[in-house]
Chain A
Amino acid sequence: MDLNFTPEEQEFRVAVRSFIDSNLPLDIASKVRNGSCLGKDDFVRWQKILHRQGWGATMWPKQFGGAGWSAVQLYIFDEECSAAGAPMQLPFGPKMVAPVIMAYGNRSQQERFLPRIVSGEDWWCQGYSEPEAGSDLASLRTKAERQGDYYIVNGQKAWTTYGHYADWIFCLVRTSNEGRQQAGISFLLIDMKTPGITVRPVIMIDGGHEINEVWFDNVKVPVENLVGEENKGWTYAKFLLGHERTDIARVGRSKAALKRLKQLAHREFANGRPLIEDQRFRDRIAQVELELMALEITNMRVLLADGKKHAPGPEASILKIKGSEIEQMLTELMMLGLGHYSLPRSFEALDAGARRQSADADYAAPLSGNYFNCRKVSIYGGSNEIQRNIIAQMILGL
């Protein structure tokens, strides 16, 4: 039993920190720290910088161009990125489709797609959910019919995050109606420029545009874009779910957010004193810090145990539930910390003379929006209720 990082891991942390210090663009860091919306260019610029360093896909094995880091190294990297205000690496390419292509794709698919993911050239999005297939994903109906060397795809995908930026979409499509629902699903890679694809924005609760509907109208997809075998897509989808996990607890992000919350509580005033001196508010910060301290250890326990058996387990659901709850507590407290200044949607609208002393527009404006937006984290990626079902079935045998 040893909870210390080894000297090598500590050196690694120093190296990561110094790389980020000298390479993370200041404009990006400032947007991340203030909780502002990032554009495509922000993500891609950072990905290219990481790629040049050989860190474009830190969790991949070396043979595919990854860094081949251990679970602890990945955690340290994530923690340092979060603390410095680096953009979150979007999961869809490197963490979701890539492991599936590595495990089940053929050689030409691996050579064609993987290098462009790690370099940031291709932006991927996920075509899983549909209007009638949310938590019950296996009931999906988007159809792919084989016609010669092509699949003809028809249907609609929902909740497609950053679909409007994407070059490619990986889709679960129905290729058979025989037998169990799960047995008729295939995993298809589709070029977003193919004729017949329409992307429509869905505006989020905070007014931002992250998600989309994606419509397929007789979209011709070459058969060579099928991953693995036809009708085996559900197996690959389940495999993928397990690989989304290195950062599923989001401990690094939440540690950075906790730090910002404490700064806010020192800057804001209540009854003529810094808000941190208000015991009721301080106790609420303390409570979320306790949750996060425990999760940090639970996260390491799961990561290190996984490292030994090399197979993702349902314990990730525990990390998802706790991690999302903590993230939501933190965003809520940051909003509450602003008092009635959580109301204005934009601080530019306020007259300069009326602008309050204690907080400036830069850090205060997005906080309520973040609270509203963050309600999504207990819904996406399998809602927390679905995660509880997974634990009940897979861990507890209920």
Chain B
Amino acid sequence: MNFDYSEEQLALQDTLRRFIDKEYRFDQRRTLAQSEDGFSREVWAQLAELGLLALPFPEEYGGLGGNAVDTMLVMEVLGRGLVLEPYLGTVVLAGSLIRDAGTLSQKDMLLPAIAGGELLMTLAHYEPGTRYEMNHIATTAKSTGNSYLINGAKSVVLGGNDADKIVVSARTGGGRRDNDGISLFVVGRTAPGLIIRGYPTQDGSRAAETQFDNVEVGDDALLGTKDGALPIIERAIDYAIVALCAEAVGIMTALNEATLDYLKTRKQFGQPIGRFQALQHRMVDMVIATEQARSMATLSAVRVDSIDAAERRRVVSAAKAYVGQSARSVGQAAVQLHGGMGVVDELNVSHYFKRLTMINATFGDTDHHLGIFSDLLLAD
């Protein structure tokens, strides 16, 4: 048993951290958040150059063959920098779907393009009014012989406004909440009948509502087994959850550093406010919550690659629920300890807090995942 990163991992972390510190300062990030795209295509190209976009893909497709621990390490640094670039949607979500379910030619066509930074993608899965239900899919894909016609709506598609291609889930069989009968298709953003309404999110990134009106795709757009996509989607979303947990840990670590610094420098009553025990103990609780969250995020990253689906479900839901609780308390405490400075736009603290809060609402919140974990106790 060891918790050490390898030399290569440490080198990657170091390179990325230096890049973020130098090229992704908070003021630059604020400008990007308000730009048309909501992120920088130059930065995206630089991330490609650093090898980040190739990280989880097999070497024969231009990848680096990394695992979920590598992704964890990257996401922690991206969290620290509040990076807006669509890494989660493109590399983690769509990337793992294609890697795990794609045909040889799909992998050949899509993975090197993602790795090279030429292709932005995302997953459109959840639908209006279904909250976090994974199998509640009303969007349909009707076979016409050698093509499919897709009809339906998808909500809060991460990075959906900028994605060149969208992986969309749709029913090819079964009833509205059946586990079977769900399939995945790769759809280009310019496909006739596809309407994408993009918008900024609370944390400064971008998402979109999408509407599919008789969008026609060829047979070769089918990704993975027909009718059997749910387990593949669950696994991809589990990878994304693990990545979000790591991002949250990176943010909490940065918030703790900022807050500790503030406690040591901000003076009231003629002394640094960090001299006051009430504030010291609150700061200590932030540190403890962060270390516990780091443990849980690490556990989920190590287990998500290697275990059977049931155990993966248990550990990933445990991590999402627990990291979510820690993120909430650390985020709220950081704002509180910064006083008025915690609630202004000018300082990064409020931005970190907003990102943590939005992470909690993504792919199932704390209550949702605590419920899943709790229900598994019935079988214990």
Contact = CB atoms under 8 A, between A and B. Distances in A.
Interface of A: 1-6, 9, 72, 262, 276-277, 279, 282-283, 285-287, 289-291, 293-298, 300-301, 304-305, 318, 321-322, 385, 388-389, 391-392, 395-398
B374 A285 contact: yes
Nearest to B373: A286
Contacts of B277: 389, 392
Contact of A293 (B263, B275, B299, B375): B299
A396 B373 contact: no
B248 to A, nearest CB: 14
Query: What 3 pairs between A and B have smallest CB-CB spacing?
Result: A297-B295, A286-B374, A392-B280
B1 A391 contact: no
B226 to A, nearest CB: 36
A327 to B, nearest CB: 16
> For this complex, into which size category does the number of interface residues on chain B fall?
35 or more
A279 to B, nearest CB: 7
Interface string B251-278: 0000000001001100000000011010
A391 B374 contact: no
Most buried by B among A1, A286, A287: A1
Given A72-B1, A286-B370, A1 B298 contact: yes
Nearest to A282: B374
B65 to A, nearest CB: 15
Contacts of B5: 1
Contacts of A318: 287-288, 291
18 contacts: A1-B298, A2-B1, A3-B299, A5-B1, A285-B374, A285-B377, A289-B373, A290-B373, A294-B299, A294-B322, A297-B299, A301-B295, A304-B3, A389-B280, A392-B277, A396-B260, A396-B283, A398-B260
Contact of B377 (A262, A304, A321, A389): A262
Contacts of A279: 374
Given A286-B377, A290-B322, A297-B298, A1 B291 contact: no
B318 interface: yes
B308 interface: no
Give the dominant DSSP class at A's interface. Answer: helix
B321 interface: yes
Interface in B1-33: 1-6, 9
A300 B281 contact: no
A392 B1 contact: no
A177 B283 CA distance: 36
Nearest to A71: B1
B370 A283 contact: yes
A321 B6 CA distance: 31
Given A5-B1, A396-B283, A283 B291 contact: no
B167 interface: no
Given A388-B280, A392-B281, 16 more contacts: A1-B69, A1-B302, A2-B1, A3-B1, A4-B1, A285-B374, A293-B318, A294-B292, A294-B322, A298-B292, A300-B1, A318-B288, A389-B277, A396-B260, A398-B260, A398-B280
B274 A398 contact: yes
A262 B3 CA distance: 30
Interface string B343-380: 00000000000000000000000000011011101101
Contacts of A385: 281
Contacts of A398: 260, 263-264, 274-275, 280, 283
A321 B283 CA distance: 14
Contact of B281 (A276, A304, A388, A395): A388
A295 B298 CA distance: 12
Contacts of B284: 388, 391-392, 396
B216 to A, nearest CB: 46
A388 B284 CA distance: 6
A186 B56 CA distance: 59
Contact of A294 (B287, B293, B303): B293
B47 interface: no
Contact of A321 (B288, B294, B296, B370): B288
A301 B318 contact: no
A299 to B, nearest CB: 9
Contacts of A283: 370-371, 374
Nearest to B276: A398
A112 to B, nearest CB: 38
Contacts of B294: 298
B257 to A, nearest CB: 10
A62 B170 CA distance: 65
A296 B294 CA distance: 12
A254 to B, nearest CB: 14
Contacts of A289: 318, 373, 377
A301 B3 contact: yes
A128 to B, nearest CB: 23
B2 A304 contact: yes
A298 B291 contact: yes
Contact of B378 (A277, A295, A301): A277
B288 A322 contact: yes
Contacts of B287: 318, 391, 395-396
Contact of A290 (B288, B318, B378): B318
Nearest to B302: A3
B379 to A, nearest CB: 10
A80 B12 CA distance: 39
A318 B292 CA distance: 9
B292 A392 contact: no
A48 B287 CA distance: 42
Contacts of A305: 3
A1 B375 CA distance: 30
B3 A293 contact: no
A211 to B, nearest CB: 27
B115 to A, nearest CB: 23
B1 A6 contact: yes
A395 B256 CA distance: 12
Contact of B292 (A9, A282, A295, A304): A295
A279 B377 CA distance: 10
Nearest to B277: A389
Nearest to A266: B380
A398 B274 CA distance: 6
A392 B377 CA distance: 37
A300 B302 CA distance: 15
Contacts of B296: 290, 293-294, 297
Contacts of B380: 262
A286 to B, nearest CB: 4
Nearest to B326: A294
A276 B280 contact: no
Contacts of B318: 289-290, 293
Contacts of A301: 3, 291, 295
